Amino acid sequence: MKSKVKRLIVSGLALAVIGGSLVACGQQKKEKQSSSQSASAPQVLNIGTTGVSKPFSYRDNGKLTGYDVEVVKALFSGLKQEYKVDLETTEFESILAGLDTDRYQLGANNFSYNAERAKKYNFSLPITKNPYVLVVRENDNQIKSLDDLTGKKAVTEVGNSGATLLENYNKNHSGKIDIQYTDQDFIKQFQDIEEGKYDVRIISTISAKQAIKEHGFKLKIVPFSDPSIYPDAYLLLPKTKDGDKLLKVVNQQIKKIYKDGTLEKISQEQLGASYLPDEKEINQ
């Protein structure tokens, strides 16, 4: 009897040990699977855009779209295992602030190049050829250059390239331009120019052409005599280790969608024509 009880006890202990080992192995397997899944999870890219800069970033029946938005989607469409794109709308100046604080890893909103921005941010390869112009009333034949803006009311938003151009002019000239800052979108600004509240807005060619055509504004476009004034538009990234790494990925993908025709297709669909940068700019 004692021998039988002893055998039962030994068998029970053996089963307990085996059971414990199986549980431990199962737990280790789950932990390994969890760790593996975590390691392979795509990196979330928070991308800042305004959602009110048609045709580059706007809402169509509630859906966020536009040239810059669709370009970003195309850049990462083949990299879904590596990256998850999260587009967030915000004020224009908040995009730059978000890049400074790592809230955003990329800014997409028809950004042009200027020296001040280049000190703080990485510029991608160009994604559009889109030089800046002067927008004035149809019957205004006086404004043909920055020098003609002395004493005139130039409307702009804080932080954009047009504002930088105006501010730099005032720093370097005795005659001052009357810079009027606003947080209203450029469609309202165009309306105010038409009604005489302001005299001029410096803005990209594509935005000006489409807004004047779509809204029937009695305004006209005056090109700068110097075609090198903000000729292209780019995506912005922070100047950090992670930003530098992402820049290489973005530029590689820009070259890819330029070469395979995707960028041309987006330009035709969103901008109504081909506004692609020169090939030599892409292959630099």
For the chain, which domains are there?
43-129+233-282 (3.40.190.10), 132-223 (3.40.190.10)
Mean pLDDT along residues 33-45: 68
Would you place residue 28 in the very low, low, confident or very high pLDDT band (cuts 50, 70, 90)?
low
HEC profile of the chain = CHHHHHHHHHHHHHHHHHHHHHHHHHHHHHHHHHHHHHHHCCEEEEEEECCEECCCEEEECCEEECHHHHHHHHHHCCCCCCEEEEEEECCHHHHHHHHHHCCCCEEEEEEECCHHHHHHEEECCCCEECCEEEEEECCCCCCCCHHHHECCEEEECCCCHHHHHHHHHHHHCCCCEEEEECCCCHHHHHHHHHCCCCCEEEEEHHHHHHHHHHHCCCEEEEECCCCCCCCEEEEEEECCHHHHHHHHHHHHHHHHHHHCCHHHHHHHHHHCCCCCCCHHHHCC
Asked if the model's pLDDT at residue 255 lies above 60, the reply is yes
Question: Does position 129 have pLDDT exceeding 90, yes or no?
Answer: yes
Task: Examine the pLDDT at 24 and tell me if it is beyond 60.
Answer: no
Q: What percent of the chain has pLDDT over 70?
A: 86
Determine what percent of the chain is predicted with pLDDT higher than 90: 79
Residues 83-94: tens digit of each pLDDT: 999 999 999 999
